[in-house]
Amino acid sequence: MRKYLYDYIDEIDDKIKNQNYDDDTIKNHLLKISFFQHERVIHLLVTITYAIMFFGSLIMSLSHLVFSFVALILAGFLVPYIWHYFKLEKGVQYLYRQYDRMRR
């Protein structure tokens, strides 16, 4: 998804640079923004779920050592999810700026 997002950003940047866009392009851009926003919300929910499970297992590891292993595994998933979510968030915010430039 991240590659798709950044390929689309490059495509729109080229259109803005060459001023090769019309009202249909702007409407399509808004539609793509809504798709990427949906993707961002899904990844936010997954990231929050992993964070809750990670911190829960971390707390449980204080009483049962086996949960330390579970917390380590969950941390292995949580860090890439946070990174991926950060990239999606940054990309969607850039789409907003592109939209503003096209509307001017």
Burial class from Cβ neighbours inside 10 Å (0-12, 13-18, 19+) for residue 15 reads: middle
Contact in structure between 102 and 13 (CB atoms under 8 Å): no
Amino acid type, 87: K
Give the chain's mean pLDDT. 95
Is 12 contained in some domain?
Answer: no
Cβ neighbour number for residue 18 with a 10 Å cutoff = 8
Residue 4 lies in a domain: no
CA distance 57 to 61: 6
Domain-embedded: residue 50: yes
Identify the pLDDT of residue 31: 96
Residues 46-58 have pLDDT tens digits of 999 999 999 999 9
- Whether the per-residue pLDDT at 94 is higher than 90: the answer is yes
The yes-or-no verdict on residue 104 having pLDDT over 90 is no
Q: What domain range is 74 assigned to?
A: 36-104
Q: Please determine, for residue 2, whether its predicted confidence score (pLDDT) is greater than 90.
A: no
Is residue 48 in a domain? Answer: yes
> Does residue 69 belong to any structural domain of this protein?
yes
What's the whole-number mean pLDDT along residues 97-101?
96
Instruction: Report the number of distinct structural domains present in the chain.
Output: 1
